[in-house]
Amino acid sequence: SSAAVRMEAPGVVVTTNVLNSPATPISACSVVGDGCSPLTLLTGHVDGQIRLWVMKYGRGGREGGGEEGRKGGRNCLTLAQELAYVSSASGGSPSKAPITALTLSQDLRRFYSGDTMGVVCAWTSSSPGSSFVASGLVEGSTPSSRREG
């Protein structure tokens, strides 16, 4: 897929919708980048989707050891993966509850998502750069497990 976000200059961002469907508003975000590994961004959306984005550095960017890539607009975020939690309660359909919280580990091997229904899901990857899969719900996070009170 083509670039979703292009860095024209420091502080100037040009966006392009690369998804095959209309863009849905972002309701949560988490960013990890240590200056040595590629910047990684998670976005949670009001339709329950989670998208994983990775910065691709252009000529002269960090991989080339210079500032040219950033100033020349060659760096861009690319969509790496789209995710949605599928619960047995929904009959195997992806959750449509808006994502309200995301946190991504520094080692890029796990993250947690939370939604408006109070469900917190753990996601894992076997190694940085491989696909994430839902590894389970955080105990006590499902609406039926919470006590009124």
Tens of pLDDT, residue by residue over 1-39, are 333 454 455 555 555 555 555 678 999 999 887 666 678
Q: For position 130, what pLDDT does the model report?
A: 82
Side chain identity at residue 126, one-letter code = S
Token pair in block for residue 69: 């890539």
Q: In the chain, what percentage of residues exceed pLDDT 90?
A: 26
Q: How far is CA 131 from CA 82, 116, 117, in A?
A: 10, 25, 25
Q: Where does the pLDDT of residue 78 fall: very low under 50, low under 70, confident under 90, or very high at 90 and above?
A: confident
- Name the nearest CA neighbour of 113 among 24, 28, 26, 23: 28
Query: What average pLDDT does the segment 97-118 reach?
Result: 91
Q: For position 68, what pLDDT does the model report?
A: 43
Q: Are 33 and 40 in contact (CB under 8 A)?
A: yes
Q: Where does the pLDDT of residue 69 fall: very low under 50, low under 70, confident under 90, or very high at 90 and above?
A: very low
DSSP category for residue 109: S
d(CA 79, CA 16): 12
Which helix (H) or strand (E) covers residue 26, if one does? Answer: strand 26-32
d(CA 52, CA 132): 9
Token pair in block for residue 104: 């991504």
Instruction: Convert 93-125 to b/e letters by CB count within 10 Å (16 or more is b).
Output: eebebbbeebebeeebbebbbbbebebebebeb
Q: For position 141, what pLDDT does the model report?
A: 61
Query: What average pLDDT does the segment 85-97 reach?
Result: 80
Most confident of the following: 16-20, 116-120, 135-139, 140-144: 116-120
d(CA 9, CA 26): 23
Q: Where does the pLDDT of residue 143 fall: very low under 50, low under 70, confident under 90, or very high at 90 and above?
A: low
